[in-house]
Structure 1
Amino acid sequence: MTPVITETPPAGHAPAGPASAGTVGWDAWGMIVILTLAYTVSFIDRQVLNLLVEPLKLAFDLSDTRLSLLQGLSFTLAYVVCSPLMGRLADTSNRRNILVGGVALWSLATALCGLSRSYWQLFAARTGVGAAEASLTPAAWSIIADRFPAHLMPRALSIFMMGPYLGGGLALIFGGLLLEYAEGRNFPFLAPWQFVFLAVAVPGLLIAAALMLFVREPVRKLTAGEDENTAMPLAEVGRRFKANGRFYFCFYGGMSGIVITLYAFPAWMPAVLMRQFGAEAATVGVQYGALVLIGGSAGVLTGPLVARWLEKRGRLDALMIVPLISAAAVAVLSALLWWAGSYGAALALGGLASFAYSLPMAGASAALQIVTPNRMRGMASALYVFIISVVGLGTAPTIVALITDRIFADESMVGHALGVTCAVSAVIGFVLLWLAQKEYARLISDQGLVGDQG
């Protein structure tokens, strides 16, 4: 069934350049730059709190447990709960306006973190950050899918998905500089940690303004049977998920296997390097942090190039081949942790793993957009975010800890626990992704999307 591309703009909107063309204009790439900045700032705003652990403990007399709730539960619970709601909005409403509102609201919530005078005020403000940031992925992925033709979508998404790696690194770098600056001055009514929250909130407000001024809502590319002016009923969304359930189940499950390694390595690799090889925390932070930043960014940019190389050699399902390569590489690298006999070897394995587990992220996201009808892309993306957040962020670090404590009963064996967790999850991910790849090939053939792949 050949998809019908709707080029008539919705009422009240000037259409952005058609994505069905073989090339796109600088305005589309400018949009990617703005969206990438928004994604980067979102990670700065969510992770800068990790740098303020000691000041916050002193300010509110917090235990590690109560502080961990600020780092995890307050943000993650709101993010996970709101993701499906934001996904539905992305399918039924103006996505540019959702992005503007989301960026502005999480920036204001970050500022409220800096104005908090009690633990529960800070907890509520962090909840606001999580709820608002849930708007970004479903709306951004959907708008990118409509703004770019299929063969350019992985490249566009690879740039956008550098945001977490850039934001995670910049949160530490600029957060530290801002804290150092604030500690050297006497601000009236503001502690240094409050100044940091207020300062990192400002870029988000500027990005919200840039989204409003320079990004247009693109025309939705609709498949046969979709109405540009009518949202797909939830019952129909459910029916389509069920009809292609084998693909979605295997895709979500397989990518979760890779995402477990994405969260487990950064969470426990520093402990491996410090406990097994006696490295100093500062040394590990700089060296491993730099490898994660460089390796992750390189991986997410390289994935689409590998997919394009495979496409030119006749693999029209290349976007789903790259995740298989990633899962296999991560499984091997994780197993090798058992035999890492030196600090340098373990550090190198950690850096290579960062490259390997980030390799498929852009291409897999593009594949999900390509085979999903426009009016349910937001829900498909939100469900993806929901699952990988629960499985990856919610369980990966804990699984490693439980294996270390309950099975090995020796904290110096954390490297073995990390290796087991990531190797097993990567193998499971490989099997599920292999099944998803078969279904993906069938779907792009059945939907007449073969020509869009190359």
Structure 2
Amino acid sequence: MTALGQIRAAEDQPAHSDTRADEQQPGGTAAAWYLIFVLTLAYTCSFVDRQVLNLLVGPIKADFGLDDTRLSLLQGLAFTSAYIIMSPVFGRIADVGSRKGVLVFGIALWSIGTSACGLARSYWQLFAARFGVGGAEACLTPAAWSIIADAFPARMIPRAFSVYMMGPYLGGGLALIFGGLLLQGAQGGSLSALPLLGAMKPWQLVFFLAGLPGILIALMLMFVKEPARRAAATASGGTHRMSPAEIRAIFRRWRGFYGNFYVGMPLFIIPLYAFPAWMPTVLIRKFGVSAGQVGVQYGIAVLITGSLSVLASPWVARAVERMGRRDSLLVVALVAAVAMVPLSLALIWASDYWTAFAIATAASVLYSLPQALSSSALQMVTPNRMRGLASSIYVFVVSVAGLALAPTFVALITDHVFGDERRVGDSLAITCAVAAAGATFFLARALPTYRRMLDAG
């Protein structure tokens, strides 16, 4: 059976470990889908809260007298350092305690942190608030993944996750759309002050209001009944837990795949974070368009193209597979990386707003297309009893590359190579083209070993 065939079969087969327990799970009920609805809202909200800053670069920079490099640390380091530190902490708490409690606490905390960004009166206060948002958002992935897996029978888990994984693309688009609308309203005078808080600058008002929906989502989670934990396959299937030595042996044996994959995909993640982080600023600085207009127009483009691209990716992979490429999951990622190189460089020669906008929209399609497929490729060739570790390594490396490095690379080139903030578009183009070229190299190197792993499986 081909890799994609195995993925499709997984949707139709019960878990190997306990068929009868699987059939008794309340998957597909109104309660289970209410859980998915609320968690998807939470995932969407998390991306609104982390990415709304991308639209507010200009006014924050002006108010605090920042260069692009210091401002990029708010986009990257402030958020990512806390996210990485707190991820294993929340992961452990989710394993031994109440996942619902972790989610309610974390969502409420990051929402308060987002609103606190709007109350910041200095760069370091804003940095600290962003640090708090990043640390609190680390609660979502471990607790949500665990609770979803227990709320649905195994045959329905992929469908549930496909809905949940819409969150980043919805959130990235909505952050720009509603951020732009709020910014327009605040700058136009229809929004200028809040009760008890008094007058606020437009960017502060956007931050403060962006944090409020999360409080409602945390309250909605209070009505979720946490599902019972199901026994893992190692407990009921009689198979032993892999020792650290066995895991190291697997990584060494297939290092041609793991080593190149763990470098290639983080490089390809850089355009995914760099474009949304800096493209609004490019359009504002280079073409004199208002932040409100950019937010609404680019936000709609990101929301639609990103969502449709990730939903269409399985059909694209199946079309490639029908051409005789059973390694289609990774081939699609490789082709997207190749295409991203000239598309990124084209931004340098974009002479008008709509040309640059079209390039950014096309980039959204390309960098969204392989994300679910690459994660599936990793799962398909990794032994069941070490998938959690392999996945955690993947999440770590892509988080560092995407959240911490991508925005800062662009800013460093702008400030210290060009020395001209109006050339941020050139910096973005160079960063993404070089990253995509590197991704092409490493993903191409990963393919032969990946095919052998599929054959071995």
Q: TM-score interval w.r.t. the shorter chain?
A: 0.7 to 0.9
Measure the CA separation in 2 of the matches of 1:208 and 1:197. Answer: 18
Deviations 1:192-223 (A, max 9, x none): 57876665445434434544615635636637
Q: Secondary structure at the match of 1:188?
A: coil
CA 1:347/1:110 → structure 2, altered by over 3 Å: closer, same or farther? closer
Aligned residues: 435
Q: Does 1:216 align with 2:224?
A: no
Q: Does 1:5 align with 2:16?
A: yes
Contact conserved, 1:257 with 1:428, CA < 8 A, in 2? yes
Give the corresponding residue for 2:169.
165
Measure the CA separation in 2 of the matches of 1:142 and 1:442. Answer: 31
- The one-letter amino acid paired with 1:6 is S
- The one-letter amino acid paired with 1:367 is A
Alignment of 1:329-368 (within 5 A): 329-368=339-378
Give the corresponding residue for 1:325.
335
1:330 is displaced (CA, Å) by 1.3
- The one-letter amino acid paired with 1:64 is L
Measure the CA separation in 1 of the matches of 2:120 and 2:264. Answer: 41
In structure 2, runs of 5+ residues without a counterpart are 1-5
CA 1:114/1:15 → structure 2, altered by over 3 Å: closer, same or farther? farther
Measure the CA separation in 1 of the matches of 2:114 and 2:126. Answer: 9
Percent of aligned positions that are identical:
52
Q: Does 1:16 align with 2:25?
A: yes
Q: Secondary structure at the match of 2:196?
A: coil
Of 110, 119, 138, which residue of structure 2 is paired with 1:134?
A: 138
- The one-letter amino acid paired with 2:41 is L
Deviations 1:281-325 (A, max 9, x none): 554444333322322222222212322444566644333232123
Measure the CA separation in 1 of the matches of 2:127 and 2:156. Answer: 43
1:358 is displaced (CA, Å) by 0.7
Alignment of 1:10-409 (within 5 A): 16=25, 30-48=34-52, 62-64=64-66, 70-87=74-91, 98-110=102-114, 123-141=127-145, 147=152, 153=158, 156-175=160-179, 177=182, 180=186, 183=191, 187-189=195-197, 192=200, 200-211=210-221, 213-214=224-225, 216=227, 219=230, 222=233, 240-274=250-284, 277=287, 279=289, 281-311=291-321, 315-373=325-383, 376-404=386-414
Contact conserved, 2:172 with 2:302, CA < 8 A, in 1? no
Measure the CA separation in 2 of the matches of 1:380 and 1:205. Answer: 33
Deviations 1:132-154 (A, max 9, x none): 2113234444665675768973x
Deviations 1:119-176 (A, max 9, x none): 76665443332112113234444665675768973x6544333322322333344455
Contact conserved, 1:220 with 1:374, CA < 8 A, in 2? no
- The one-letter amino acid paired with 1:7 is D
Measure the CA separation in 1 of the matches of 2:369 and 2:261. Answer: 16
CA 1:94/1:371 → structure 2, altered by over 3 Å: closer, same or farther? farther
1:351 is displaced (CA, Å) by 0.8
Measure the CA separation in 2 of the matches of 1:311 and 1:407. Answer: 44
Measure the CA separation in 2 of the matches of 1:141 and 1:365. Answer: 14
Measure the CA separation in 1 of the matches of 2:251 and 2:417. Answer: 39
Contact conserved, 2:17 with 2:233, CA < 8 A, in 1? yes
1:423 is displaced (CA, Å) by 2.4
TM-score norm. by structure 1 comes to: 0.75
TM-score norm. by structure 2 comes to: 0.74
Contact conserved, 1:157 with 1:366, CA < 8 A, in 2? no
RMSD: 4.5
Contact conserved, 1:138 with 1:379, CA < 8 A, in 2? no
Q: Secondary structure at the match of 2:18?
A: coil
Measure the CA separation in 1 of the matches of 2:166 and 2:345. Answer: 27
Deviations 1:414-443 (A, max 9, x none): 444433332232122123223334444444
Measure the CA separation in 1 of the matches of 2:393 and 2:348. Answer: 35
Measure the CA separation in 2 of the matches of 1:418 and 1:216. Answer: 45
1:369 is displaced (CA, Å) by 3.6
CA 1:440/1:206 → structure 2, altered by over 3 Å: closer, same or farther? farther
Range that drifts further, 312-321 or 246-255? 312-321
- The one-letter amino acid paired with 2:407 is P
CA 1:57/1:333 → structure 2, altered by over 3 Å: closer, same or farther? closer
Measure the CA separation in 1 of the matches of 2:290 and 2:209. Answer: 30
Measure the CA separation in 2 of the matches of 1:335 and 1:118. Answer: 36
